[in-house]
Amino acid sequence: MNASTITLHVPQRSKIAGRMDFFQMVSGVLLILFLWAHMMLVSSVILSPSLMNGIAWFFEATYMAQIGGPAIFVLMVVHFILAARKMPFKQDEWKTFRVHACMLHHKDTTMWLVQVISAIFILVLGAVHMFVVLTDLPITAAKSAARIQSGWLYLYLVLLPLAELHVGVGFYRIGVKYGFVGRNKRKWFQKTENLMMIGFITIGLLTLVRFMLLNIQG
Q: Which residues are annotated as part of the binding site for heme b?
A: 24, 38, 79, 112, 129, 156, 166, 177
Helix axes 15-42, 49-61, angle to 10 degrees: 140
Q: Which amino acid is at 165?
A: L
Quote the Cα angle for 126-143-69, to 5°. Answer: 35
Sign of CA dihedral 100, 104, 109, 110: positive
Instruction: Report the C-alpha dihedral over residues 184, 185, 187, 193, rounded to 10 degrees.
Output: -170
* Closest residue by Cα to residue 177 from 28, 35, 37: 28
Q: Using an 8 Å Cβ cutoff, are 65 and 59 in contact? A: yes
Quote the Cα angle for 45-43-50, to 5°. Answer: 25
Q: What is the DSSP string of 40-105?
A: HHHGGGGT-HHHHHHHHHHHHHTTHHHHHHHHHHHHHHHHHHHHHTTS--SHHHHHHHHHHHHHH-
Residues belonging to the binding site are 24, 38, 79, 112, 129, 156, 166, 177
